Structure 1
């Protein structure tokens, strides 16, 4: 059953550490090498429109399109690791297991720098249409790949496109702390999974560099900086009474490009100058919410997940 009401007019007031008004979650999507690829044995290439509207026949291998993906794992990853390291910031890397297997040096570097690695599927795909057995296999394969390449165990989950009515039950059974397959709120919230509370940390589509990927999607780092700054300013103002959460979504083949990355760089510098901003991984946010959210929420209604 859908929940179109959520917290309503009186969301819970959960203070962040140090009295912060906004918890900023930096999310880096590491997918390159896990997309559909004829070279990898798939029947079709990833059908993604790029380069301001250019596309190709997905039934034919296209080396130029492959190279757009390769940029993320060859250059974008190192640009962002250096950017975060220079500022002492920790991010959540939503990583596909197969992508890390194809670049174990990057996997080790992400873990070395203390970033969280969140499960993003073994392949870069959604779970819609999968049987429960197939979903469980996908989750376990992703988890095993992250553990083998980076030496850490993921506690969060997010996949492209969609999950099924069974996904969250399986995640709970497999020991995951949260998932982010939602765009429904500016605060974490609980859903009911077989009578128990499961935590959802919503993601965001507007504060996301996906705006630069697709038909006619040409923009500048200045555009992205403005969107990020305006979003933070709004949430900081609202955070005076109800502290909020903000997600920043980055894809290494998109936001890893110099012009967009420069807009992100400017935003990070701006956000670090704003009073009341807490940069945190999604695991940190999840654990804080679980420890500090009131036992009785303003509206004790949870989305039911089919059993």
Structure 2
């Protein structure tokens, strides 16, 4: 495994100038394998990658409403606080994210952290640490409010307040957005463009990035996932960590086969209080280590993927 300084030097040789810091992990020397890939197959990624993997780390805990959904029965009487449910969320910032951050460093990958503004304000040191360790801070609303029903100006303030909280605490200006449960409204993309955002992820329609027109101007879509998402599989379907790992690896194998002839992006999503548990971090290590044994696989932050989409003359446009 190359150290970060060596990688950055290599990366500059393969056309990554202008992108934000990234970590690419292949099964050997990046430059040599890129050349081999050019001979053996058709790559559709401008940086020479065969398959790009995008990892999400949701930073939501601390920003949830009182008596938010948890693994406990949703039968609290009105006027009382679900105290054990509250501690389930606290695990996300006390144990989950710190454990995942250490694991990302061990594995040598950088991720995109979708941050709820109120969660950032409650745990500013942790939010700042995420950015300081090289990860992207993306906006995820100010809180868990339902934004698709908001009037235009109300939604605009909601999005702006969340992004401003992130910038104030971390110094990182978010360019990507994720709505609560992906449920954006009919005005959301126009608002995001007006506020200076570059991409959103609330789309499940493709396994590769693409551009859409918003008021006549390109806007990037970096597709998200619910198939490889811990809140859906672990909490929603009661998968074990082994089952989660198996499903994600099966998805990777299929996309890797397809990537021989076309541009493919794989997304995997982890939530602070779920993906940061010991068993899930162990499963994540197994998953990513498996991917890293395949030639031409790179791990990109979503802001980097969006930038590549804007610069690619062959990108899909809708």
Question: TM-score, structure 1 length as denominator?
Answer: 0.85
Q: Which residue pairs with 2:228 in the alignment?
A: 207
Query: How far off its partner does 1:49 sit?
Result: 4.6
Q: Which residue pairs with 2:105 in the alignment?
A: 85
Give the structure with the larger helix fraction: 2
Name the CA shift for 1:58/1:190 in 2 (closer, same or farther; >3 Å): farther
Find 1:166's aligned residue among 170, 174, 187.
187
Cα distance in 2 for partners of 1:235, 1:58 equals 47
CA displacement, residues 17-37 of structure 1 (integer Å, 9 cap, x when unaligned) = 552221100100010011112
CA displacement, residues 97-132 of structure 1 (integer Å, 9 cap, x when unaligned) = 110111111111101101001100010233111011
CA contact 1:92–1:118 (8 Å) conserved in 2: yes
The 4+ residue runs of structure 1 with deviation greater than 4 A are none
Name the CA shift for 1:18/1:169 in 2 (closer, same or farther; >3 Å): closer
User: Number of paired residues?
Assistant: 274
**Unaligned residue ranges in structure 2 (runs of 5+):** 1-41
Secondary structure (helix, strand or coil) at the match of 1:117 reads: strand
Q: Which residue pairs with 2:83 in the alignment?
A: 63
Cα distance in 1 for partners of 2:229, 2:160 equals 28
**Unaligned residue ranges in structure 1 (runs of 5+):** 1-12, 38-44, 303-307
Query: How far off its partner does 1:58 sit?
Result: 7.1
Q: Which residue pairs with 2:148 in the alignment?
A: 128
CA contact 1:146–1:152 (8 Å) conserved in 2: yes
Where in structure 2 are the equivalents of 1:166-205 lying within 5 Å? 166-205=187-226
CA contact 1:92–1:117 (8 Å) conserved in 2: yes
Q: Give yes or no for the alignment of 1:15 onto 2:44.
A: yes
Q: Give yes or no for the alignment of 1:50 onto 2:71.
A: yes
